[in-house]
């Protein structure tokens, strides 16, 4: 509808624009013929720059001249990190095009405001052949899938060995309500880790590596009171963390609550096979009691309620705090930061922590971050071509080419490690660029981090193996309920607000009981749980 | 001239003193930001408050200037600021002047319609579709044209023109000028302080274009400064596992590089004001021209 | 041409015809004026009015994929959900409180500041002050929030460090509900009061200097000159700005509140903008977002029209 309307708008605007220009020339001179110089100015300024920069639009790749094999044009929208993305003439892009028989037209979008860009692109109706979407469960994306905007992929995937090699969890977690898969996961490691502790401080204070929440509490106490940095001042604190930036979860402290609940993200299947949310369980209150006691005793950074994630990290890197709830990859980043001033610094990731329930707990990730979708407007043949393009990117060879470039030109290999050369920087060969299109599952992905030394890396690998033995995933992944979608954020916000206040001591712990009672009697809360249970049963094929 | 009396002198002194104190409070962040921008990122990690550049280094600036994309983007932003400001002043001042003439039939209804555009915002999707249908996608005009005027600017500029007496234009009309000549040859030269002010507003707005560029400019070679800067603030060192910064817990560049970016993004546009100030000082007086 | 400006004579025809003809004559008389307005009017039509169709999605379950014509109409459902939300009253209270504190304390700040600056005689000093005090405007809220945390934090904040140095108790500036609104207002003043002077200084420079001479002749003191000459001289600009500001009462600057607010102060920091971000924007619910926006706009329109009427009653020009 819009198209025809707006086309006439374009014509109308052209007419009006001409009138406007004509009017501008009428500025001419007074009737007695004085000024003539300034009169032309406005007309000029409007006309002049038009021939300049804005005129050169990027060439439409769809019209690119075909070689003998006629490469398939594929338009892609994805994000990138770093100063500059690779252009169409980039040596790696060229090589990928050659090897996959494609002609790529990549729109590189800044991760700043990526979601807004996706939203308007989805709305505009001319989606690229392949788009990265950060949240495939956002209401608008889900609606579009239901309206048939994207290719349903499950039946095709098995033809592609490398894509099929993605962990089953990753594929399953992208599934919608109807049990269908509409997207290719941008695959990630499943076990990311959860918490790390200053190992050198533990050694100095002769403390064992904490296994339980009680151990952790004692370590926090010792880190706060026993001068672990040995500078003679009581200037350290046990635990630093930040609240989720959208205010919808406890951020770092969510993990503590989850350990007490022994439930990933607070969701659990109870003994009757029912999906339950543990926020109303007594374990949540116990966790809050633990946290508020720790804060009262000064074991948690005083400003945690207002800290941003980067500030919390700075507190670790500057040696002000010794425990951080962060992924294994971040543990190295923090260690590297600490080592700029203290070469013996070491953040040790823990494989799990045991709460009062007695079962060791660590959460498992969804196995992906963002998905790629192919719009239904793409013909089936081309869709298959795109899948094989992605399949190539998920192969050992393709991934190496995309993320690391040519051997001995862009990287040298040292065991497991890719050592990037200066040329790699020049040619923008990086996981931050093509690596945002080509992804390959790596169980130990989170052990990798820039500049990580071999010993640290190998230790992290071992820890990830251990994590894999205990980690549990969130059973509510991918479940949808109308009511929950509508009220979810309100519930989460209220929960988080009260939890933070209880931690700070500005509200008494008793308030939590009242809150839970209120929640349990809230019609929307109960309806959400009902609907989510239905969804769960449906998904499980019950 | 009449000499200032004693109390007036005291008034003047106290006034100046207060303003200097206030300026110090205001200049502190500039100093603070500048200090960090010259601080070695490793020194920054030692913690504490930075009251002077520690481990003085220009590396942070060098990093920012290291890519051709960045230097090009400065040119693009300058282009946007110059062209946008010029066109914006013409479009807005012509309309504002017209609407300041009380004899204009339909004036009230037009003003009301413009007022509505200040209050009601249709959201980004309709705007995006309009830009696309106009064929402006990926063109720098998509950043210039939609910001050529705003209700806010029209109303404020009109309030400046309101004070220009009708007698002035009547005189010009008798000289055989039509309304367009009056605007161009008499009103605009008389309104230099206002034009300088709104010129500054336009220049700042165009210099700071960010969001529209995200939406409308696909070709990264045409990105304006703010977009490139914010892009550079996200760390380029990423790993396979953590290299996905749409997720929480993103690793960003050191604070010192961020602050260098703030300085680069701010100083050029800040420099515009001192050049405009002479127009304020002159402040062509409507009253004195009348004679 | 010269004669056109003269009053148009009414003829003997019947009244409505006469009026028509008179109007046509006036329009013809002012044709160049209309021509001058054309580019601007065209701009507003094209870039401001054509996208206005987007407002109707407030009454739909809009899905961009099927477009506005094929999306379901839901009437006032989104509005009902918004108004029946149990926090509506708190959101309204917080929004209005922050807005009115800004109106009361932040709005006059640049006026006072520019009058003070106008009284500075040393030209170099004056320009220097002008340039310096408008700097904070260019810092983004992210940076300002960062600086605020460094100054006001509890464990290592500059002010609290000084307080504890003197053996005084630390003040939880950032997590105290009672300090949140004043802190926002102060931040606004600090960030934008200097920038706000730009427009008032321009207005002041348009004041006829002979008026000051005359006032001095009459023996008026400095304060009296300010009261009787400067303020009336810029009154027009102040009034326009004030009325426009009133249209924004429902907008409190999302970025600032979002960055400075935390769970600790949520009871005073949750406003319409943060609410709609949480419940509409984050979820990709375009229609709900649009309906809250429309509500804010309508309130703004009522405020502006009311204020304009009031201004007219007091014999001022107002906006229109």
A270 and A312 co-located in one domain: yes
Looking at domain B67-290, its CATH superfamily turns out to be MetI-like (1.10.3720.10)
Asked if B160 and C130 come within 8 Å (Cβ–Cβ), the reply is no
Asked if B98 and C135 come within 8 Å (Cβ–Cβ), the reply is no
Asked if C149 and A149 come within 8 Å (Cβ–Cβ), the reply is no
Rounded-to-integer distance, Cα C154 and Cα C152, Å:
6
Chain A / chain B CB contacts < 8 angstroms: 206
Comparing CB atoms, the residue among B184, B211, B237 nearest residue A38 is B184
| Residue A281 or C221, more confident | A281
pLDDT of residue C277 exceeding 60: yes
| Residue A175 or A215, more confident | A215
Residue B246: its chain A contacts at CB < 8 A?
79, 111, 114, 134, 369-370
What is the structure's pLDDT at A58? 37
Asked if B134 and A13 come within 8 Å (Cβ–Cβ), the reply is yes
Tell me which of A270-284, A340-354, B33-47, C222-236 is least confident: B33-47
What is the structure's pLDDT at A297? 96
Question: How sure is the predictor about A46, in pLDDT bands with cuts at 50, 70 and 90?
Answer: very low
A3 is a domain residue = no
A273 and A231 co-located in one domain: yes
pLDDT of residue B158 exceeding 70: yes
What is the structure's pLDDT at A48? 36
What is the structure's pLDDT at B112? 94
Rounded-to-integer distance, Cα C276 and Cα C257, Å:
13
The pLDDT tens digits of the residues spanning A292-317 come to 999 999 999 999 999 888 888 889 99
Which residues are paired to A321 by β-bridges? Answer: A237
pLDDT of residue B1 exceeding 70: no
Residue B68: its chain A contacts at CB < 8 A?
84
| Residue C128 or B243, more confident | C128
Rounded-to-integer distance, Cα A317 and Cα B268, Å:
34
Among C5, C24, C51, C277, the strongest candidate for a mutation testing the B interface, having the largest count of B CBs within 10 A, is C51
Question: How sure is the predictor about B206, in pLDDT bands with cuts at 50, 70 and 90?
Answer: very high
Structure tokens of C22?
């008179």
Contact indicator for B2, C216 with CB cutoff of 8 Å: yes
Chain A / chain C CB contacts < 8 angstroms: 122
Contact indicator for B259, B37 with CB cutoff of 8 Å: yes
A107 is a domain residue = yes
Comparing CB atoms, the residue among A123, A308, A493 nearest residue C278 is A493
A54 is a domain residue = no
pLDDT of residue B181 exceeding 90: no
| Residue A2 or A352, more confident | A352
Rounded-to-integer distance, Cα B121 and Cα C276, Å:
15
What is the structure's pLDDT at A176? 85
Give A113→chain B minimum CA distance, Å. Answer: 7
B290–A contact, CB cutoff 8 A: no
Rounded-to-integer distance, Cα B116 and Cα C7, Å:
33
Distances (CA, A) of B99 to B103, B160, C22, C44, C319: 9, 11, 20, 14, 11
Asked if C317 and B197 come within 8 Å (Cβ–Cβ), the reply is no
**CA nearest to A13 within chain C:** C46
Asked if C33 and B90 come within 8 Å (Cβ–Cβ), the reply is no
Give A506→chain C minimum CA distance, Å. Answer: 8
C157–B contact, CB cutoff 8 A: no
* Cβ burial, residue C281 (10 Å; 0-12/13-18/19+): middle
Rounded-to-integer distance, Cα C267 and Cα B263, Å:
36
What is the structure's pLDDT at A22? 54
What is the structure's pLDDT at A24? 54
Highest mean pLDDT among B10-19, B25-34, B282-291, C290-299: C290-299
**Long-range pairs, A118-121, Cβ under 8 A, ≥24:** A118/A77, A119/B124, A119/B125, A119/C64, A119/C284, A119/C286, A120/B124, A120/B125, A120/B128, A120/B215, A121/A77
pLDDT of residue B111 exceeding 60: yes
Rounded-to-integer distance, Cα B250 and Cα B238, Å:
10
A350 and A264 co-located in one domain: yes
The pLDDT tens digits of the residues spanning C56-74 come to 999 999 888 888 888 899 9
Question: How sure is the predictor about A30, in pLDDT bands with cuts at 50, 70 and 90?
Answer: low
The pLDDT tens digits of the residues spanning B27-57 come to 887 888 888 888 887 777 776 667 788 878 8
Question: How sure is the predictor about A540, in pLDDT bands with cuts at 50, 70 and 90?
Answer: confident
Rounded-to-integer distance, Cα C280 and Cα C283, Å:
5
Structure tokens of A475?
């059973």
The pLDDT tens digits of the residues spanning A473-498 come to 999 988 888 899 889 999 999 999 99
Asked if B277 and C127 come within 8 Å (Cβ–Cβ), the reply is yes
| Residue B245 or A430, more confident | A430
Rounded-to-integer distance, Cα A481 and Cα A275, Å:
13
Residue B89: its chain A contacts at CB < 8 A?
none
What is the structure's pLDDT at B280? 66
Asked if B231 and A79 come within 8 Å (Cβ–Cβ), the reply is no
pLDDT (mean) for A24-45: 42
CA pseudo-torsion sign C31, C37, C38, C44: negative
Asked if B66 and A83 come within 8 Å (Cβ–Cβ), the reply is yes
The pLDDT tens digits of the residues spanning A224-250 come to 999 999 888 888 999 999 998 888 999
ipTM summary value: 0.88
Contact indicator for A443, A461 with CB cutoff of 8 Å: no
pLDDT over 70 percentage in chain C: 96
Structure tokens of C118?
């106008």
C125–B contact, CB cutoff 8 A: yes
CA angle C195, C199, C203 (to 5 degrees): 150
Give C250→chain A minimum CA distance, Å. Answer: 20
pLDDT (mean) for C283-295: 91
pLDDT of residue B230 exceeding 90: no
A275 and A213 co-located in one domain: yes
Comparing CB atoms, the residue among B49, B130, B152 nearest residue C244 is B152
Question: How sure is the predictor about C12, in pLDDT bands with cuts at 50, 70 and 90?
Answer: low
A305 and A214 co-located in one domain: yes
3-state secondary structure of B234: strand
A343 and A393 co-located in one domain: no
- Tell how strand A347-349 and strand A353-354 pair up: unpaired
Asked if B105 and C30 come within 8 Å (Cβ–Cβ), the reply is yes
What is the structure's pLDDT at A17? 60
Asked if B181 and A27 come within 8 Å (Cβ–Cβ), the reply is yes
Q: Look at the block and give the residue holding tokens 């062209």.
A: B83
pLDDT of residue B283 exceeding 50: no
pLDDT (mean) for C226-235: 91
- What is the rounded average pLDDT for all residues in chain C? 88
What is the structure's pLDDT at C126? 87
Q: What is the CATH number of domain C87-313?
A: 1.10.3720.10
Q: Where are the domains of chain C?
A: 2-53, 87-313
Asked if A147 and C69 come within 8 Å (Cβ–Cβ), the reply is no
What is the structure's pLDDT at A389? 96
Among B179, B255, B258, the strongest candidate for a mutation testing the C interface, having the largest count of C CBs within 10 A, is B179
Comparing CB atoms, the residue among A2, A35, A112 nearest residue B185 is A35
What is the structure's pLDDT at C74? 94
pLDDT of residue C118 exceeding 50: yes
Comparing CB atoms, the residue among B176, B177, B214 nearest residue A110 is B214
Question: How sure is the predictor about B110, in pLDDT bands with cuts at 50, 70 and 90?
Answer: very high
What is the structure's pLDDT at B192? 85
Asked if B237 and A450 come within 8 Å (Cβ–Cβ), the reply is yes
What is the structure's pLDDT at B80? 96
The pLDDT tens digits of the residues spanning A160-174 come to 999 999 999 899 889
Rounded-to-integer distance, Cα A141 and Cα A157, Å:
21
- What is the rounded average pLDDT for all residues in chain A? 86
**CA nearest to C51 within chain B:** B126
> Subunits that touch chain B (at least 3 Cβ pairs < 8 angstroms)?
A, C
A150 and A226 co-located in one domain: no
> Subunits that touch chain C (at least 3 Cβ pairs < 8 angstroms)?
A, B
What is the structure's pLDDT at B240? 30
What is the structure's pLDDT at A26? 53
pLDDT over 70 percentage in chain A: 87
Rounded-to-integer distance, Cα A185 and Cα C6, Å:
75
Give A215→chain C minimum CA distance, Å. Answer: 25
Comparing CB atoms, the residue among C46, C279, C285 nearest residue A490 is C279
Rounded-to-integer distance, Cα C258 and Cα C274, Å:
7
pLDDT of residue A391 exceeding 60: yes
Q: What is the residue range of A123's domain?
A: 67-189+367-442
Tell me which of A12-21, A98-107, A240-249, A279-288 is least confident: A12-21
A239 and A352 co-located in one domain: yes
Which residues are paired to C60 by β-bridges? Answer: C73
- What is the rounded average pLDDT for all residues in chain B? 82
pLDDT of residue A54 exceeding 90: no
| Residue A1 or A318, more confident | A318
Comparing CB atoms, the residue among A84, A120, A340 nearest residue B42 is A340
Contact indicator for A101, A69 with CB cutoff of 8 Å: yes
pLDDT of residue B83 exceeding 70: yes
Residue B174: its chain C contacts at CB < 8 A?
2
What is the structure's pLDDT at A35? 36
A101 and A166 co-located in one domain: yes
pLDDT of residue A57 exceeding 50: no
A454 is a domain residue = no
| Residue C135 or B79, more confident | B79
Number of domains in chain A: 2
pLDDT (mean) for A423-439: 87
What is the structure's pLDDT at A448? 83
Q: Look at the block and give the residue holding tokens 């919808």.
A: A248
Structure tokens of A63?
């019209």
DSSP C265: G
A447 is a domain residue = no
pLDDT of residue C80 exceeding 50: yes
CB burial of A147-164 (b: ≥16 within 10 Å; e: otherwise) equals eebbbbbeebbeebebbe
pLDDT of residue C157 exceeding 50: yes
Residue C36: its chain A contacts at CB < 8 A?
23
pLDDT (mean) for B166-178: 79
Question: How sure is the predictor about A47, in pLDDT bands with cuts at 50, 70 and 90?
Answer: very low
pLDDT of residue A36 exceeding 80: no
B155 contact partners, CB below 8 Å, separation of at least 6: B96, B111, B114, B115, B118, C240, C244, C319
The pTM of this model reads 0.86
Structure tokens of B142?
């998509």
First to last CA, chain B: 21
Contact indicator for B184, C32 with CB cutoff of 8 Å: no
Q: Please name the residue ranges forming H helices in C104-208.
A: 108-118, 123-133, 141-152, 158-165, 177-205
CATH number, domain containing residue A73:
3.40.190.10
**CA nearest to A11 within chain C:** C46
DSSP states of B34-99: HHHHTS-HHHHTT-S--SS-SS--SHHHHHHTTSHHHHHHHHHHHHHHHHHHHHHHHHHHHHHHHH
Q: How many other C-beta atoms are found inside a 10 Å radius of the C-beta of residue B31?
A: 12
> Subunits that touch chain A (at least 3 Cβ pairs < 8 angstroms)?
B, C
What is the structure's pLDDT at C107? 96
Distances (CA, A) of A225 to A87, A220, A228, B133: 55, 9, 8, 66
pLDDT of residue B21 exceeding 50: yes
pLDDT (mean) for A243-266: 92
DSSP states of C19-81: HHHHHHHHHHHTHHHHHHHHHHHHHIIIIIIGGGGGGGGGGEE--TTTHHHHSEE-TTHHHHH
Asked if C149 and A311 come within 8 Å (Cβ–Cβ), the reply is yes
pLDDT (mean) for A190-216: 95
């Amino acid at each position: 509808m819009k198209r025809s309307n707006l086309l006439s708008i374009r014509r109308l605007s052209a007419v009006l624009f001409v009138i406007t220009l004509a009017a501008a020339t009428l500025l001419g001179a007074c009737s007695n013929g004085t000024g003539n110089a300034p009169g032309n100015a406005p007309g000029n300024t409007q006309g002049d720059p038009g021939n300049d920069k804005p005129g050169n639009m990027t060439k439409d790749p769809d019209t690119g001249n075909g070689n003998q094999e006629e490469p398939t044009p594929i338009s892609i929208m994805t994000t990138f990190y770093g100063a500059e993305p690779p252009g169409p003439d980039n040596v790696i892009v060229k090589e990928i095009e050659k090897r996959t028989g494609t002609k790529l037209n990549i729109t590189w979008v800044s991760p700043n405001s990526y979601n807004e860009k996706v939203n308007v692109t989805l709305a505009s109706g001319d989606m690229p052949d392949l788009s990265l979407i950060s949240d495939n469960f956002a209401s608008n994306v889900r609606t579009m899938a239901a309206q048939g905007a994207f290719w349903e992929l499950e039946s095709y995937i098995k033809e592609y060995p490398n894509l099929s090699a993605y962990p089953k969890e990753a594929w399953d977690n992208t599934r919608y309500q109807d049990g269908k898969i509409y997207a290719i996961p941008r695959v990630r490691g499943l076990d990311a880790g959860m918490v790390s502790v200053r190992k050198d401080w533990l050694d100095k204070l002769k403390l064992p590596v904490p296994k339980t929440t009680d151990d952790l509490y004692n370590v926090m106490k010792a880190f706060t009171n026993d001068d672990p940095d040995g500078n003679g001042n009581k200037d350290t604190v046990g635990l630093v963390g930040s609240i989720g930036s959208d205010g919808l979860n406890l951020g770092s402290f969510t993990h503590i609550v989850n350990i007490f609940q022994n439930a990933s993200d607070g969701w659990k299947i109870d003994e009757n096979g029912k999906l339950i949310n543990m926020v109303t369980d007594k374990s949540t209150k116990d966790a809050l009691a633990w946290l508020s006691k720790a804060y009262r005793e000064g074991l948690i950074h005083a400003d945690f309620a207002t800290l941003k994630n980067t500030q919390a990290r700075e507190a670790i890197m500057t040696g002000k705090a010794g425990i951080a709830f962060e992924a294994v990859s971040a543990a190295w980043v923090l260690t590297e930061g600490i080592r700029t001033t203290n070469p013996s610094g070491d953040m040790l990731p823990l494989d799990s922590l045991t709460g009062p329930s007695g079962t060791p707990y660590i959460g498992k990730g969804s196995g992906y971050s963002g998905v790629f979708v192919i719009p239904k407007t793409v013909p089936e043949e081309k869709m298959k071509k795109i899948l094989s393009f992605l399949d190539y990117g998920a192969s050992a060879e393709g991934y190496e080419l995309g993320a690391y470039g040519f051997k001995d030109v862009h990287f040298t290999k040292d065991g497991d490690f890719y050592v990037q050369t200066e040329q790699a920087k020049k040619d923008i060969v990086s996981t931050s660029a093509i690596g945002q299109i080509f992804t390959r599952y790596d169980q130990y992905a989170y052990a990798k981090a820039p500049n990580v030394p071999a010993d640290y890396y190998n230790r992290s690998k071992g820890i990830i193996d251990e994590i894999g033995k205990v980690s549990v995933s969130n059973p509510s992944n991918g479940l949808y309920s109308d009511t929950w979608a509508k009220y979810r954020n309100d519930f989460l916000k209220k929960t988080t607000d009260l939890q933070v206040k209880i931690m700070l001591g500005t509200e008494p712990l008793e308030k939590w009981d009242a809150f839970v009672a209120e929640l349990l009697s809230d019609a929307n809360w109960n309806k959400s749980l009902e609907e989510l249970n239905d969804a769960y049963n449906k998904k499980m094929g019950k | 001239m009449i000499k200032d009396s004693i109390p007036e002198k005291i008034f003047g002194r106290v006034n100046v003193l207060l303003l200097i104190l206030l300026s110090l409070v205001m200049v502190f962040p500039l100093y603070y930001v500048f200090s960090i921008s010259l601080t070695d990122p490793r020194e920054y990690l030692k913690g504490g408050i930075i009251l002077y550049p520690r481990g003085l280094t220009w590396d942070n600036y060098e990093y920012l200037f290291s890519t051709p994309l960045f230097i090009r983007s400065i040119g693009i932003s300058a282009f946007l600021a110059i062209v946008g400001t010029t066109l914006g002043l013409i479009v807005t001042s012509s309309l504002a002047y017209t609407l300041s003439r009380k004899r204009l039939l339909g004036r009230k209804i037009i003003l009301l319609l413009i007022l509505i555009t200040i209050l009601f915002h249709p959201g980004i999707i309709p705007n995006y579709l309009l830009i696309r249908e106009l064929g402006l996608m990926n063109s720098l005009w998509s950043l210039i044209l939609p910001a050529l005027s705003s209700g806010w600017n029209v109303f404020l500029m009109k309030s400046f023109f309101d004070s220009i007496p009708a007698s002035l234009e009547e005189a010009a009309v008798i000289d055989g000028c039509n309304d367009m000549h009056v605007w161009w040859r008499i009103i605009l030269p008389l309104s230099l302080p206002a034009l300088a002010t709104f010129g500054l507003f336009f220049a700042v707005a165009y210099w700071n274009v960010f969001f529209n560029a995200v939406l409308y400019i696909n070709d990264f070679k045409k990105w304006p400064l703010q977009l490139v800067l914010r892009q550079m603030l996200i760390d380029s060192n990423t790993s396979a596992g953590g290299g996905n910064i749409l997720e929480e817990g993103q690793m960003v560049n050191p604070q010192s590089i961020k602050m260098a970016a703030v300085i680069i993004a701010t100083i050029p546009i800040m420099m515009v004001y001192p050049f405009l100030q002479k127009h304020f000082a002159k402040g062509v007086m409507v009253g004195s021209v009348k004679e | 041409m010269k004669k056109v400006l003269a009053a148009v004579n009414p003829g003997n025809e019947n009244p409505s015809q006469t009026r028509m003809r008179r109007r046509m004559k006036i329009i013809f008389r002012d044709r160049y004026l209309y021509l001058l307005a054309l580019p601007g009017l065209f701009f507003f039509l094209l870039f401001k009015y054509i996208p206005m169709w987007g407002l109707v999605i407030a009454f739909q379950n809009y899905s961009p994929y099927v477009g506005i014509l094929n999306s379901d109409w839901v009437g006032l459902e989104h509005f009902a959900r918004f108004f029946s939300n149990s926090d509506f009253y708190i959101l309204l209270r917080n929004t209005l409180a922050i807005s009115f504190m800004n109106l009361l304390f932040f709005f006059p700040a640049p006026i006072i500041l520019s009058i003070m600056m106008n009284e500075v005689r040393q030209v170099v000093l004056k320009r220097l002050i002008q340039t310096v005090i408008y700097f904070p405007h260019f810092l983004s809220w992210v940076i300002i929030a960062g600086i605020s945390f460094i100054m006001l934090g509890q464990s290592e904040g500059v002010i609290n460090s000084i307080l504890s140095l003197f053996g005084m108790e630390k003040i939880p500036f950032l997590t105290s509900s009672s300090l949140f609104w004043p802190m926002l207002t102060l931040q606004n003043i600090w960030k934008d009061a200097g920038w706000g002077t730009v427009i008032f200084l321009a207005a002041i420079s348009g004041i006829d200097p002979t008026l000051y001479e005359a006032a001095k002749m009459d023996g008026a003191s400095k304060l009296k000159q300010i009261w009787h000459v400067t303020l009336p001289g810029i009154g027009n600009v102040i009034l326009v700005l004030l009325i426009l500001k009133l249209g924004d009462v429902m907008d409190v600057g999302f970025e600032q509140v979002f960055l400075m607010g935390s769970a600790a102060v949520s009871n005073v920091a949750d406003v319409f903008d943060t609410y709609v971000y949480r419940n509409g924007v984050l979820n990709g619910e375009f229609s709900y977002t649009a309906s809250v926006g429309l509500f804010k706009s309508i309130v703004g329109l009522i405020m502006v029209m009311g204020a304009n009427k009031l201004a007219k009653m007091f014999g001022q020009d107002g906006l229109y």
